[in-house]
Amino acid sequence: MANLKLKRACETYDGLMGKAFVDCKIGYTNERLDNLHNKAVEQIHDDILGRIKNEGIVAEVFENLTDQLKNIFIKYKEKNEMLVETEKKCIELIEAQRRHEEKLAEADEKLAKEKMEHELRQFELYEQQVKERRQHEREQIQAENERMLEARKHQEEMRRIENHRIAEVEGQIVIV
């Protein structure tokens, strides 16, 4: 009979701890896990004391129950550690992903800034080329105007010399 009660107590404990882990995805703190264990053990003790009136059987069940529950508790403690470790890895993965995304964002920002600076330099170079081309065109026009002015001056000088010769020749003809 004591073995039957012990088996039933272990199944009850396993069921209570199993329920505690049904919706638990990230694990419990050690303190919270100990509280769950103590609460389940207390509930089982109260249940045994309420059902069994024979003190000899109660003493025998309690004597064997502690070791049995420790063995079951170790299983849930390991499960909890696995859940906590999995959650820790998940958090580390999320953090690594966040850092990666930050680096990508920084790289995108840097690339956009470099692109903007490059485009600005290209625009400034284009503006400088346009300015230099206009300056060169003005210089060419000015040089052409100066050449034409020199050509006119030369033509006028030649006409003046020609007119002067003609005048001298006409003056010689008249004088003779």
Number of structural domains in the chain: 1
Residue 74: predicted pLDDT:
95
The per-residue pLDDT for 41 is: 92
Please count the other Cβ atoms lying within 10 Å of the Cβ belonging to residue 65: 21
- The per-residue pLDDT for 50 is 87
pLDDT above 80 for 104: yes
Where in the sequence is the domain holding 66, given as residue range(s)? 2-114
Kindly state whether residue 120 falls inside one of the protein's structural domains.
Answer: no
> Per-residue pLDDT averaged across 19-44, rounded?
92
The predicted pLDDT at position 174 comes to: 52
CA distance 61 to 7: 9
Residue 37 lies in a domain: yes
> Is there a domain that residue 88 lies in?
yes
Residue 8 in any domain: the answer is: yes
Question: Residue 164: which pLDDT band, with cuts at 50, 70 and 90?
Answer: confident
pTM confidence score? 0.59
63 falls within a domain: yes
| Long-range contact pairs involving 40-44 (C-beta distance under 8 Å, separation at least 24) | 40/12, 40/13, 40/16, 41/13, 41/69, 43/12, 43/16, 44/9, 44/12, 44/13, 44/16, 44/69
**Does any domain span residue 21?**
yes
**What is the average pLDDT value for the chain, to the nearest integer?**
91
Residue 172 falls within a domain, yes or no? Answer: no
For range 88-112, the mean pLDDT: 97
Q: Give a yes or no: residue 28 inside a domain.
A: yes
